Structure 1
């Protein structure tokens, strides 16, 4: 019979004592939950400062793309899978966020992009039921839609302008002007552009309904000019022909709202020249992305990305031939969770 050491015997005795002090269920190895499972949503809003300006990121909810390969049709599937696995992401699901921004300059309340909304009925849920939360989350952050003075659009795609109006066509932001490039305004309200990918018809019908409600209060965005004090437009064409980023500067601090310059924080940063299926001009979009990412990394400029992981704040840093996304740490005192 094998001998048992004194150390082993003491260890077994201590374990027995420990088990006797546990609740009956745990002592027998059967877990008894003392609280129900939680299904909380991600934080609905996040507030921070840009110099003297107060900024609030408002979530419109998650936008799932499904399998990533169809969104990157010219990219090798094995490279897509390798990048997703390397970032500990599922290879069969590319999930994007929708990080709208409300900027309080002290004299104006400015909303950048509106999310999907409910204006187009069933089409408003073309990416699933997790979108369309901007209005309720804005109210949760203490901001009422009627307080918005200016809606600044990075471009006129569904997930950026379809919440300008409600399902009945009424303005969700009744006191606001809408800033957009003339190029995007013309392109996305022209029925002649209903060609190519299947989504084009819905995108144009939605833009016509939403933008049309504000035709008497449009502000035309021009490259290199301010749309509001401290808010500079930066032309970044390709995703749409009139897509714009916006550099927001106050008291020596700058954050660039990049809109849809890059949709995925891994795939399109590590491979900035890859083409994305929702781009109007994929090759121009890739060149613009490479140019802008180089500038943002060189200047070490803070970034707010519409589709990057919540709340979309951070920096891009060079990594080989591409870039890494460096998420900014969040101040938990400025987070609200519904």
Structure 2
């Protein structure tokens, strides 16, 4: 068929569609764009426990090279483009876990919050949505009995209080490693990278509001029945993962063991700019990823693509990330 014939056919089809409209009716513009997202929460079971993941929103890092300063830029770009990701912008999720054990309602990490004013938006306007998403999932902040922190960075503890310093979780205790509590509330550690000052001021404000209701977690010890702390130092000196076990099922909440599902799994020894001790962090990551791959436990990663659930598998010098089908784990 010639180009002219194709054009004629298309024109005739268009004319036929217009003629098919009912008398007195005309084609209307499409419905307006909504430009909003639904509340982000996902519910599933861990044995006898009910688990709900709620989002604190996306956390954009911008260009990935500054976040991985010791890594070859060409390798960063190749890994991202090879996995259909934008090489010019790295975006992380923030997946907070709420666990109902039947006896307690436990929140792991709090997201960025609004306690530090403009500093709370250092990564842009898309963070700080945990409380709204909790409520959308039918969970009220005052119902939380215990907040367990993987570590005391801004995107994990700055929503313990509001802008006025009032506790967002008025009935909760807070569990954290003693190492992180001491380090991130010590003004003498305001040195090194520029972000350290705001990180320490924010941790001091948020953790200080709960100083009379703290639980110190220890490596290999239960925080409460069914939840065991696993020391993985380096990202912060007191960073913890948590193994959650019920009814013969174990899920490991890995916190910030690895921030990116491609860059830090394919290259687990790469260093990340927000690590307190990048080399120690890489060693902890390699050790724990090896254990997780061998045990084949489901893991929840705070910063991996929503909702952060999946498995890791040894592949070459690194690991592959295999997201869990959400319909398999749903109630």
> Into which bin does the TM-score normalised by the smaller protein fall?
over 0.9
TM-score normalised to structure 1 length: 0.91
Q: Distance in 2 between matches of 1:114 and 1:305?
A: 14
TM-score normalised to structure 2 length: 0.93
Question: Aligned pair 1:276/2:268, yes or no?
Answer: no
Aligned to 1:97: 93
Spell out, residue by residue over 1:243-289, the C-alpha distance to the aligned partner (whole angstroms, 9 max, x if none): 00000011011110000000001100000000000000000000000
Q: Secondary structure at the match of 1:92?
A: coil
Question: Aligned pair 1:208/2:207, yes or no?
Answer: no
Q: Distance in 1 between matches of 2:127 and 2:19?
A: 44
Q: Distance in 2 between matches of 1:25 and 1:316?
A: 55
Aligned to 2:32: 36
Among 251, 276, 286, the alignment partner of 2:282 is 286
Q: Secondary structure at the match of 1:84?
A: helix
Among 300, 317, 323, the alignment partner of 1:321 is 317
Deviation at 1:22, TM superposition (A): 3.1
Aligned to 2:147: 151
Moved more, 14-23 or 303-312: 14-23
Is the 2:39–2:133 contact (alpha carbons within 8 Å) kept by the matching residues of 1? no
Is the 1:152–1:178 contact (alpha carbons within 8 Å) kept by the matching residues of 2? yes
What root-mean-square deviation, in Å, do the aligned CA atoms of Structure 1 and Structure 2 show?
Answer: 2.4
Question: Aligned pair 1:160/2:156, yes or no?
Answer: yes
Question: Aligned pair 1:217/2:213, yes or no?
Answer: yes
Aligned to 1:195: 191
Deviation at 1:33, TM superposition (A): 4.3
Moved more, 251-260 or 323-332: 323-332
Q: Distance in 2 between matches of 1:12 and 1:282?
A: 62
Aligned to 1:240: 236
Question: Aligned pair 1:299/2:295, yes or no?
Answer: yes
Residue 319 and residue 12 in structure 1: after superposition, are their counterparts in 2 closer, same or farther (change >3 A)?
same
Deviation at 1:35, TM superposition (A): 1.8
Is the 2:230–2:240 contact (alpha carbons within 8 Å) kept by the matching residues of 1? yes
Q: Secondary structure at the match of 2:326?
A: coil
Q: Distance in 1 between matches of 2:195 and 2:301?
A: 23
Aligned to 1:69: 65
Spell out, residue by residue over 1:173-224, the C-alpha distance to the aligned partner (whole angstroms, 9 max, x if none): 0000000000000000001111100000000000000000000000000111
Q: Distance in 1 between matches of 2:302 and 2:278?
A: 19
Deviation at 1:322, TM superposition (A): 0.6
Q: Distance in 1 between matches of 2:139 and 2:18?
A: 47
| Alignment: residue pair count | 325
Q: Distance in 2 between matches of 1:25 and 1:126?
A: 55
Deviation at 1:34, TM superposition (A): 2.5
Among 111, 121, 127, the alignment partner of 1:125 is 121
Aligned to 2:17: 22
Aligned to 2:74: 78
Residue 126 and residue 13 in structure 1: after superposition, are their counterparts in 2 closer, same or farther (change >3 A)?
closer
Structure 1: which 5+ residue stretches go unaligned?
none
Q: Distance in 1 between matches of 2:19 and 2:149?
A: 59
Question: Aligned pair 1:262/2:258, yes or no?
Answer: yes
Is the 1:25–1:32 contact (alpha carbons within 8 Å) kept by the matching residues of 2? no
Residue 25 and residue 112 in structure 1: after superposition, are their counterparts in 2 closer, same or farther (change >3 A)?
farther
Q: Distance in 1 between matches of 2:18 and 2:71?
A: 55
Structure 2: which 5+ residue stretches go unaligned?
22-26
Spell out, residue by residue over 1:32-60, the C-alpha distance to the aligned partner (whole angstroms, 9 max, x if none): 64322232326511111101100000100
Question: Aligned pair 1:60/2:56, yes or no?
Answer: yes
